[in-house]
Chains A and B, each alone.
Chain A
Amino acid sequence: MFMLQVVADNAAEVAKNTNALLGAGLGIGLTIIGAGLGIGRIGSQAVEAIARQPEASADIRGAMILTAALIEGATLAALVFALLFKIL
């Protein structure tokens, strides 16, 4: 009975916590889908371009890393905000 009482008292807080966790989890999952698709495309196009023109491989590698970092930046911004929403 005591346990039920404790559970009932914390129900509202637990619900808020659960909702925040649910929101953060969904947010993280969706963000990673977007990042995976984007960086996967960059990788595939870069590898194709290097296969077509191996002399330009240094330039292509540089552009690939730069673009991947930019997309990663957006992904991590979303992840940081997901963490923020969980904490708030």
Chain B
Amino acid sequence: MMQTPDIGGMIFAHTADARGLELPFVGHVALPQWAPVHVGGMTIDLSPTKHVVFLLVAAFLVWLTMWLTGRALQRQRAQGGGAPKGLANMMEAVILFVRNDVAIANIGRRRGAAFAPYILTLFWLILYCNLLGLVPFGATPTGNLAVTGALALTALATIEISGMVALGPKGYLRTIAFVPPGTTGVTAVLLTLIMIPVELIGKIVKPFALMLRLFANMTAGHFVILSLMGIIFIFGHLAVFRWVIAGGSVAFMLFMYALELLVAFLQAYIFALLTSVFIGLMQHEH
């Protein structure tokens, strides 16, 4: 009897984190394992894993892109200026879009430019992380809850600290315990008391949703593609039909790949957009 393929295991092996890399001609390369660090009562394992390596690759690619763009712009300005050409032109279009239509539009004209580098970094890092998963032998760092959790944590810190700086301590407390407009007397006090835990939970839930949204979008796409590939193996023993099934599966896979590409861009944009919307919400008094 033929062995049934372990599709679930294959899917998880390709999307989950691993202690080794799969390189094109070399095969499986084990990553170094470092001794766990004891901090307080916890042991933390700091050894690099596949997603860590790809996160560093994405960060390096972001730096490389921006460095090449800056150099090209410098050279073009030294030679007389005018509209940028080539790589600088393409980068300028995207960067100005994120800066103007995402950061400044949502945070406001005064502070928007100050937050633009952070929003741009978010956008480009998440974009490169998402796209790395679509390359052969690549893995998606943002398909890891820890990575998206860390990004959401930076968003939480930025939102709350910028709120505290912009509104002052009293103004910041007023975003938690505010009297709903149009109520007076006992209803006002009751509603304010009810709103306090709701607002506090809201402050935690919004970055949590950011984390979950990015993680699930990235992982779901890969699940579908890998499942479609697994279908070819499940029907592998049906003599003639397996070619038809394989053909249909590959066609679907191509479509899903195109959709994955769109989702990669869209999710990077959505993360940056929602972060800037939340920062903008904290900049203004109610």
Contact = CB atoms under 8 A, between A and B. Distances in A.
Nearest to B105: A62
A46 to B, nearest CB: 16
A76 B219 CA distance: 10
B220 interface: yes
B270 A76 contact: no
A73 B218 CA distance: 12
Contact of B209 (A66, A73, A79): A73
Contacts of B210: 73
Contact of A76 (B220, B266, B273): B220
A76 B213 contact: yes
A69 B209 CA distance: 11
Contacts of A80: 212, 215-216
A79 B273 CA distance: 23
Interface in B243-282: 266, 269-270, 273-274, 277
Between B101, B216, B217, the greatest number of chain A beta carbons within 10 A of the residue's beta carbon is seen for: B216
Interface string A49-88: 0000000000000100110011011101101100000000
A70 B210 CA distance: 9
Interface residues of B, number: 15
Given A66-B277, A73-B209, A79 B216 contact: yes
A29 to B, nearest CB: 15
B212 A77 contact: yes
Contacts of B216: 76-77, 79-80
Contacts of B266: 65, 69
Task: Classify the interface of chain B: helix, strand, loop or mixed.
Answer: helix
A69 B275 CA distance: 13
Interface string B182-221: 0000000000000000000000000001101101110010
A77 B273 contact: no
Contacts of B277: 66
Given A72-B217, A76-B220, A79-B220, A66 B273 contact: yes
Contact of A73 (B101, B213, B269): B213
A77 B220 contact: no
Given A65-B270, A76-B213, 17 more contacts: A65-B269, A66-B273, A66-B274, A66-B277, A69-B213, A69-B266, A69-B274, A73-B209, A73-B212, A74-B209, A76-B212, A76-B217, A77-B209, A77-B212, A77-B213, A79-B220, A80-B212
15 contacts: A62-B101, A66-B277, A69-B266, A69-B273, A69-B274, A70-B274, A72-B213, A72-B217, A73-B209, A76-B220, A77-B213, A77-B216, A79-B220, A80-B212, A80-B216
